[in-house]
Structure 1
Amino acid sequence: MESVTPPAPLRTEATEGRPGDLAEAWPEGAEVCVSFALAPRPGSVAQARRLMRTQLDGWSVRDDDACDAAALVISELVTNAVVHTASRRIICELCADSEKLRIAVRDEGCGSGMPRPVHRGADDEHGRGLLLVDAVSSAWGVHEAGPDIGRTVWAELRRTAPSVTTTAAAYA
């Protein structure tokens, strides 16, 4: 069995004077970010989820629904980078401010075409990842750096998931 040592963050930015518990009054417009590199292998998906959950806990993101949505998003984006590109490494970036979380996964390209949601048949077992990302995110997109240079797929989520009552009222 291969031993996996979690990678050290590549970049961390913190706003000066940021409170220890980010659930407290976070300065308007303040944002913190951390990024880490992963190997392009299937086990990196679980590693990305663990690292992200640890970081969200450190940022005092306590909303279980928001954390679960973020775990789903990072799982889908890292899986796509592992499966659909020939990247030698994958970079994940997590950012948070007082209202939202942003998850970005950068690969080295080499995949065929731009990532986009695809509607599959009821019996298909794969291919719904970006549909799930679209469903749980407030916004998402793709930034293409250039041919064979890479791309970044990102998604934004609210730090606090809407309540069931609020969501139901929106569809009433």
Structure 2
Amino acid sequence: MSEKTSTFVVTHAEDESAIVRDVETAQVHTLATNPGLEVHDVLEATVAPDPPLEVTWQVIAVENRRSIDLVDTDLEPTQHSKELAAGVDVGELVTEERAGTGAIHVVRVPEDEVDAAAQDVLHDDETIARAARLEAVRVEVRRSADGVVSVRYLPD
């Protein structure tokens, strides 16, 4: 094994160790020590096998570190998000890039499952990984009573 430079999201953190996941390949690395990381931190870093056994990894360089703010808002989806959802069936996802960086994802769900769908997004590790890939620092989840859930991946 050799060192690897990528963008990682912290999926688990304890005082003594942490687990990071490469947001591009989904490969998971258990760190032998925790250099002050917290769950949902995003690192642009280089990791390398930890000697002598090389079954765990160590962070050897950090180019950038940020956290992703997950926001469960009581705001309705924007008019634009509602328009995107108008043309899709229940269960379908529409994605649209934002000007600059970030994205908007809109899904239509059964009206009685709106809150559950929003909570699923907020608790899914892939939401953080997607935010990291999109260079977002804030994920805002909005919902409406008529079955529209919008997820806004926002830059700083």
- TM-score computed with the length of structure 2 as normaliser: 0.30
Larger radius of gyration: 2
Looking at secondary structure, tell me which structure has more strand per residue.
2
